[in-house]
Structure 1
């Protein structure tokens, strides 16, 4: 079992190490800790990096709460307008072979993308989220897509259906008519094999 870190300095070092392991140096994201509450401040290039930083910080033993003050921006470039982001998102989804054409609608507000629609498989949902979250200018993604019930039920039914083999055993009984002789007991003998009077 892992032991929780006992003080804020050790917790800060652990979070910094976790962020370094995914390529986010302290010069990109500053880590402050007070009373086991971790605050991340800084900027990253895309929503995927922001999400990775949040996930890694929450994985560190001893973190009780996480405050995220991380902006998404690319050094030397200006912020994209929502209509530009929408065009990029739609283009990326159209190129993604894992997402059916026209299955997802997008809504953008201040760089935050919301995905809406109905898909057939969880893999399509994951592919859409992955594609969109890595785009420049996307501040974050809310995935409100759903999996079609019929498709999900069909997949569950197919996975749960196991071929059934039924074996039928046929027993044939032969009856022989005899006169004075019982086939099981012999001539004039009772069931115990004794001579009948």
Structure 2
């Protein structure tokens, strides 16, 4: 995790108190989250979430909500999943429910398997796109009884030219309204993509990584972009 701010960028930051209020409001605004048992701590743009929720899906939603808030540079998710009495399931029942859910998905191949140990799910297998890997994890996160997920699904490499992959990602950045084009450089090394440069927010950093992962043949993305609140001003002045 790299968070880099110039002096100008630091002066543009919200106060910790304001950012904390904004994160609490965003958690409250999201109908999938009951924020009553979630605590928010903020230090220089770094948000730490603590407390407990009754479902793993709610834990995931809380982190995403915090990352949406303007001024957030990074999020540490320390929320614990405390299943309610009604939410407890036997591991074998959870495994069967996950197997059925994955089988009925149009995106997930039969090679993807799940094991369950005391509510913790481990996904294995191989897919040909990152979005399928993420889709499998998302499906599992909404199954009752799940406490956590380890996504060990691999991605099969595809033959593609480096220059074509680089140009395709750069065009995707320019099309994307959430990304300040021209501030991120793309480096392609075989099936690995490395991103450098500055972004305006943690949310933009995540979006840049998502776009890079969408390129055909990419098996690994190293997102080394730095969050800098003055990145947008610099881009507009060029």
Whether the 8 Å CA contact 2:115–2:123 is kept in 1: the answer is yes
- Structure 1 gaps of 5+ residues are 161-197
Match of residue 66, structure 1, among 65, 76, 84: 76
- Higher share in helix: 2
Show the counterpart of 1:142.
Answer: 150
Q: Pick the aligned partner of 2:98 from 83, 86, 89.
A: 89
The answer to which structure, 1 or 2, has the higher relative contact order (CA under 8 A, 6+ apart) is: 2
Q: CA deviation at 1:135?
A: 0.8
| TM-score where L is the length of structure 1 | 0.63
Counterpart for residue 25 of structure 2: 17
Q: Which has the larger radius of gyration?
A: 1
Cα distance change on mapping 1:5 and 1:44 into 2, 3 Å? farther
Change (3 A) 1:49 1:69: closer
**CA distance in structure 2 between the aligned counterparts of 1:69 and 1:107, rounded to whole angstroms:** 23
Tell me whether 1:127 sits opposite 2:135 in the alignment.
yes
Matching of residue 41 in structure 1 with residue 51 in structure 2: yes
**4+ aligned runs moved over 6 Å, structure 1:** none
Tell whether the 8 Å contact from 1:72 to 1:138 is kept in structure 2 after alignment: no
- Structure 1 residues 10-59: Cα deviation after superposition (integer angstroms, max 9, x where no partner): 332111112123222432x32242656634213143x2321121233245
The number of residues matched between the two structures is: 151
Q: Give TM-score scaled by structure 2 length.
A: 0.53
> Structure 2, unaligned stretches of length 5 or more?
1-8, 165-238
Cα gap change, 1:4/1:59 in structure 2, threshold over 3 Å: closer, same or farther?
Answer: farther
1:109 CA drift (Å): 2.0
Distance 2:115 2:93 in 1: 12
